[in-house]
Structure 1
């Protein structure tokens, strides 16, 4: 029994030693590296960047009241289309007690004067008809009578303005009616019936009754990093993608790049604006988030290769030309490169179309 165990042990030891030598021999063998073979092709190269922002109307007009008071009625809602001059709301005037009392006193004085002038006019008219007084004297009395009547009318209008903000002669063009100053779509009506409003003056911007904008003239407003702002120029084309409208790219032209950057989260960003070229049947709401895909540079019909095939050494670039495919043999060659889009790169000198070069290393699947 002991002899059998000894033989088994020696056998296992021998197998372990042999397998160790086999493993070490396999590890010591040179590894054969194979590469993909790539071919230079002609195509287009575009260098792009993306700017984030939102869609806004070019001009958003804030409608302010022309007098202070309380909103009596609101005739329009957000989303409705209005034309210049359309009434949006009506204001009820809250009269000042001092001004009202003064206006009432003026009316009473004007009424007394008008009554006395009427009596004088009626008396002198009879005297003039009987040729008792001259025409000159009668015309003076007639002029005073007309002036007093006009003063009474003006006093009544002033009292009406203090109390209600309107007069009989200007009821259609009253300052109590808040009208739209432009044509467009109402974006917001921040007031309701019963809210107090004040007119714009030297010390206050006034209460906004509504905001109106033309939604057919929209801008993309975004921000771009300082490393790329120098590559932008006015009228540069771009494509706008709106988050709420998938699978639709809207063409746009760059109109404005801010001359001053703003620091955000440690980065310097510059504001940019681009005019959207909207289709007639497309409705865009103000405030949609959007991205701008900007073509910073492009090359048409140039020789391109995968950028991973290029070896960089200092300021020089090299590729490995295929000398033999089986077995693989390569010759190192200097080339001049141009624009890159991060995947493919332009070769300006050193290669022509269909030239074969070494690509990336082929990694064998360990399971296989």
Structure 2
């Protein structure tokens, strides 16, 4: 009886060990990973760049005075639409005392000279009528009196210009500041009572107002030197405005700067594009904008998802892994390929693949389950105690 009991106990012990081993292996083994595949497909790729900048009027005109003085009255406000010739402001003349005194003295001298010439003329005219002097001498006196009258007229006109700003007080007097072009008043940087300086050869003068046509706008932006070589005049642009949500305007590139400017370590080139303004979108001068520019475009080409690419660590050449055999076997073969342009999502396949190839799709890392976290935590704690 003891002999059979002994064999039974040995058998039970062996079975227990085998059961424990099976349980241990099954509890610690991980399920095999199954990879999915993707096939190349025919699509189109556009390689784009974005230029940041702003939308400004094509032509902006600054209105400056032709005479110095003080702003007496401003008749219009910023944002008003004007036509060429509309009155914007009026200047009150504050003449220079020295210039005014000199001009007044010139008028007085001209009057004295005219009176003296008139007396001489009247005396010699009586002699000429009696035939005492020749006609040539009398004609010289006639010329002198005409010149004296002209000099007096000029002196009086200069005096009026210094004193009032114009000689005749006409509607085109220098004291009236009028619009020189039609458009919208963008800015009036002066106020009533401000002193302004005239525009001359040595001074730009004080700006009374700036006017621009808001129906003719351009985009001004900058692009990096690595992309400017791919741009051509006439390239279409898509302009998106930061201040107008959802608005997208069409434009055409019309200017590329021949010289770049270094900014924060990178060379930037200025570009300009004519913007097609829509009637239902009101654009203010200076809106910040982004221009989307298509640098390169290819239609009906073989592409794959860029996430399928791998790169050799030594040669940095691209390759993919192709399925060999059936999908259940999960066998893969490395295949080097040649790629072309990319838009960040898909990449062009120049050579190395066909539409029938099955490409290995790398699975995303799965999160660790709660039970596995607890087991790993216990193991870490035991190791730290040891």
Q: Which category of TM-score, normalised to the shorter sequence, fits these structures?
A: 0.7 to 0.9
Alpha-carbon distance change, 75 to 354 in structure 1, aligned in 2, over 3 angstroms: farther
Kindly state the Cα deviation for residue 138 of structure 1 after the two structures are TM-superposed. 6.2
Matched, 1:45 2:42: no
Equivalent position of 2:14 in the other structure: none
Kindly state the Cα deviation for residue 342 of structure 1 after the two structures are TM-superposed. 1.2
Kindly state the Cα deviation for residue 44 of structure 1 after the two structures are TM-superposed. 0.7
Equivalent position of 1:286 in the other structure: 285
For 1:250-304, what per-residue CA distance to the aligned partner results, in whole angstroms no more than 9, with x for missing partners?
Answer: 1222233334444444444333222212235543111101111122212111111
Equivalent position of 2:82 in the other structure: 82
- Within 5 A, what are the aligned runs for 1:249-268? 249-268=248-267
CA–CA separation in structure 2 for the residues paired with 1:197 and 1:260: 37
TM-score by length of 2: 0.77
Matched, 1:72 2:72: yes
- Within 5 A, what are the aligned runs for 1:87-166? 87-115=87-115, 132-133=130-131, 136=135, 142-166=142-166
* Structure 1: runs of 5 or more not aligned: 1-16
Alpha-carbon distance change, 363 to 99 in structure 1, aligned in 2, over 3 angstroms: closer
- Structure 1 or 2: larger strand share? 1
Kindly state the Cα deviation for residue 74 of structure 1 after the two structures are TM-superposed. 2.2
TM-score by length of 1: 0.81
Equivalent position of 1:198 in the other structure: 197
Instruction: Give SS of 1:351's match.
Output: coil
Instruction: Give SS of 2:362's match.
Output: strand
Is the 1:237–1:251 contact (alpha carbons within 8 Å) kept by the matching residues of 2? yes
CA–CA separation in structure 2 for the residues paired with 1:162 and 1:362: 85
Count of paired positions: 349
RMSD: 3.3
* Structure 2: runs of 5 or more not aligned: 1-16, 371-386
Alpha-carbon distance change, 116 to 330 in structure 1, aligned in 2, over 3 angstroms: same
Q: 2:353 aligns with which of 334, 351, 357?
A: 351
CA–CA separation in structure 2 for the residues paired with 1:21 and 1:311: 40
Is the 1:36–1:362 contact (alpha carbons within 8 Å) kept by the matching residues of 2? no
For 1:323-362, what per-residue CA distance to the aligned partner results, in whole angstroms no more than 9, with x for missing partners?
Answer: 3223444443332221111111111223333543222316
Kindly state the Cα deviation for residue 76 of structure 1 after the two structures are TM-superposed. 3.0
Equivalent position of 1:32 in the other structure: 32
Q: Which one is further off, 311-320 or 91-100?
A: 311-320
CA–CA separation in structure 2 for the residues paired with 1:241 and 1:20: 68
CA–CA separation in structure 2 for the residues paired with 1:64 and 1:20: 99
Is the 1:35–1:362 contact (alpha carbons within 8 Å) kept by the matching residues of 2? no
Equivalent position of 1:60 in the other structure: 60
Is the 1:324–1:330 contact (alpha carbons within 8 Å) kept by the matching residues of 2? no
Is the 1:257–1:272 contact (alpha carbons within 8 Å) kept by the matching residues of 2? yes
Kindly state the Cα deviation for residue 164 of structure 1 after the two structures are TM-superposed. 0.9
